[in-house]
Structure 1
Amino acid sequence: MESTIVLISKKGKGVQVILSANFIEDLVSPTTTVNSDLTKETTYANVNGFYNVSLEFGYNAKTRINTNAVLTYNFGLDSRVSNTVNINNNILFNTKTTTVKPKVNAILNWKNVLEIAPSYNVRFTAAKFSTLDLQNQRFSQHNIRLKTVLFAIKDFEWRNDIDYFHNPKVVSNFQKNTLLWNTTLDYSFLKNKVTAFIKIYDLLNQNTSVVRINNSNFIEDNLSSVLKRYFMFGLKWRFDTFNSK
């Protein structure tokens, strides 16, 4: 049985707050037994005690710095507390995970010629196990992003998207830092109906996908295969809608 309750949902001028809770009873959960020869047997049982509570807060505002520049900014906080129930080797235990993610970003537009949008977010995760066989864990993941758009030359648009990721707690043989830079140059013609573009993905050829994942009974550092640097050329054609008679 599952029930979800939205306790608070408020959206006013520049402010949004959402507090919700989700409770699950009689959830079918795997029960794992590891034998002496290291083989595993999995069965299933109905257990109670699963829940998930989340709070989202956001604030945004816009201000004109002068006749040429407009600044839009916002900051927020996402937090979540969840509890799962696990059965390993006939031992029932809880895993309580708390995640807090503050974030801030801004967009500066100068005379509709240049747009700069920096942002930063960090996710703090704490995993607490009720069994002494598993060690409690704390780790974080950081992301800094810078997006720019340049409209200085007529019919041209140059966009950059730079991401920096930092995972300080991953194991030593994994890359802790990643810098990803994508850049795109657009040229519009035929009265802006056609746009030719060239995009370079991962300009620095440094892209990796390393992330620490918190599971119900273990912590995993995951390294995934990802695309490295590549180039893409293309055309985009905009079709105007017909006026209704």
Structure 2
Amino acid sequence: MGGDYQMADLSGNQVYPREFSVNKTFQNFLPNADLNYKFTQTKNLRFNYRTSTNAPSITQLQNVYDITNPLFISSGNPELKQEYSNNLSLRYNSTNVAKSVNFFGGLFATFTQNNITNSTFIANRDTTLAEGVLLTRGSQYSRPVNLQGYRSMRAFMNLGLPIQSIKSNLNLNGGVNYTRTPGLINQVSNISNNYAFNAGTVLSSNISENLDFSVSYNGSYNIVRYSIQPQQNSNYFSHTARFRLNWISRKGFTVNPDVTNTLYKGLGAGYDRSFTLVNLGVGQKILKDQRGEIRLTIFDLLKQNNSISRNITASYVEDNRTLVLSRYFMLTFTYNLRNFRGSNASKN
């Protein structure tokens, strides 16, 4: 148990489009506590409490209008305060050494005071902001503000055990996340509640140095609810399934397929899709003791690679699709420097 005193100075100067100076000093006391209890040598429970701060950025403090996009105008707020978070965690770990079984479970929570979020004004008619900035009907003006009520909670567990019959290890995991984010729309409180349910498994082998594989799956179901924007509510599902194999023959021929299937469902038109990314590498070990390797790798063999993400904010849901590099080939040569002068191994 203890604590720290923190003082942070934030300063900046702006000369265009008008002169503006920022000088802020933040002072906080940051307590912390740890409690560790051992039931046995292989079972223990640990409680942790930490506090942390997050200062607003210079951009968030500058009271200047960004009119790059006239439909989404934004500005800073020189009156912003520093965020102050209370972080709690409870972890339990149990290991059965004889059976090589391990269990981990955890509860995590964060409560934030003066959460930096956005106050959004949606114009129902043409409106003139300060300094003559025009906000046309239907467009938005966003400004950062401090609000109370942000919290995030998470529960997570993982079970690991061996599968002796196939010389592999199996890991099972699952979790539940909840995030509450406050916001303002036309000066009315708008609360975003995001629930996420996750489950996954990983099967990885330890058969030999020449044969290794892993199979994994992770699925996530999300529920998003807004207090005053029911049209933004959504339920969506995503999953990732992956298979990897590394095989080396006695004569040094190598094969390394890597296949990943990604699915998005419930995001909406243009974003609901399933695609499979296939990477394939083939190579040949060469030179003395097979220290060298020539390898040809094909990335995105099926030309299906995509990058899709969803961002949940206090006032809206945003879907993004990013342009990614499609199929390409790479030829590489690798040489393994196993021995160094002065080592106990034989010198070559």
TM-score by length of 1: 0.88
Cα–Cα, structure 1 residues 79 and 200, in superposed 2: closer, same or farther, change >3 Å? same
Which residue identity is paired with 1:182? N
The answer as to 2:102 corresponding to 1:3 is: no
The 3 A distance-change label for structure 1 pair 46 and 215 is closer
Partner of 1:182: 279
Cα deviation for residue 52 of structure 1 reads 1.0
- Structure 2, unmatched stretches of 5+, are 1-83, 97-101, 126-135
> Any conservation in 2 of the 1:170–1:211 contact (CA below 8 Å)?
no
Note if contact 1:156-1:185 (Cα within 8 Å) is conserved in structure 2.
yes
Separation in 1 of the partners of 2:109 and 2:209?
Answer: 43
- Residue 61 of structure 1 pairs with residue 161 of structure 2: yes
Compute the RMSD of aligned alpha carbons. Answer: 2.2
**Partner of 1:239 in structure 2?**
337
Q: Which region of structure 1 is more displaced relative to structure 2, 49-58 or 6-15?
A: 6-15
Match of 1:219 in 2: 317
**Cα distance change of structure 1 residues 204 and 175 upon mapping to structure 2, 3 Å threshold:** farther
- Matched letter for residue 222 of structure 1: N
**How does 1:70-81 map onto structure 2 within 5 Å?**
70-81=167-178
Q: Deviations over 1:25-72 (max 9, x none)?
A: 01222211122223332323211111111122111111321xxx4122
**What is the identity percentage for the equivalent residue pairs of Structure 1 and Structure 2?**
18
CA shift for structure 1 position 170: 2.9
The correspondence for 2:119, drawn from 31, 48, 54, is 31
More strand by share: 1
The structural deviation recorded for 1:188 is 2.6
Q: Secondary structure at the match of 2:268?
A: coil
Deviations 1:195-225 (A, max 9, x none): 2211100011111223344333222332210
**Partners of 1:78 and 1:176 in 2: CA distance:** 24
| 1:155 aligns with one of 244, 252, 255 | 252
Question: Take 2:144 and 2:268, find their aligned partners in 1: how far apart are those partners?
Answer: 33
Residues 9 and 19, structure 1, Cα contact 8 Å, conserved in 2: no
**C-alpha deviations, 1:172-203, integer Å up to 9, x for none?**
33461101100112323332432221110001
Indicate the structure whose relative CO is greater, using CA pairs within 8 Å and at least 6 residues apart: 1
| Aligned 8 A contact 1:171 1:221 in 2 | no
Name the stretch that deviates more: 121-130 or 163-172.
163-172
Distance 1:138 1:70 in 2: 39
Query: Contact conserved, 1:141 with 1:168, CA < 8 A, in 2?
Result: yes
**Contact 2:279–2:299 (8 Å) recurs in 1:** yes
- 1:134–1:217 CA contact under 8 A, matched in 2: no
Q: Tell me the number of residue pairs that the alignment of Structure 1 and Structure 2 aligns.
A: 242
Q: Distance in 2 between matches of 1:112 and 1:176?
A: 37
> Match of 1:167, SS?
strand
The answer as to whether partners of 1:114 and 1:151 remain within 8 angstroms in 2 is: yes
